[in-house]
Structure 1
């Protein structure tokens, strides 16, 4: 269920990663191949972010100063 939710967010993650290129002066010297490489790079970044979020959600809770596991609120950090 969580994996499906995260995968459903992948297009938005890629869109946000691509937003960093908005207004950038990028020269593509190898035509369609170069454009494809940029798109593939953005998807790769999105998948990396997705995997990091998945690992963070599935990580064991941190301990407080007394060594007691902390309980989260079930929400992802902002």
Structure 2
């Protein structure tokens, strides 16, 4: 289980086979989301919804809003040295 403040990445295979990805309707081989697999994000919040446990993830240095993702597809990562502005 992930914790608030933890640094994570998204498991690409689990995400691409999830309803979260399929519901967005991206074209095949879409590269716009590669940062969620390659870069690391910080868990800002954790909530339990009817569909399971989700974490609110903010990616460091990526100009995009935070996103809610199921915790089963998150991979714990090394701590980052940065200051949130």
Same fold (TM over 0.5): no
Q: State TM-score, norm by structure 1.
A: 0.26
Greater helix share, structure number: 1
Q: State TM-score, norm by structure 2.
A: 0.24
Structure possessing the higher radius of gyration over alpha carbons: 1
Greater strand share, structure number: 2
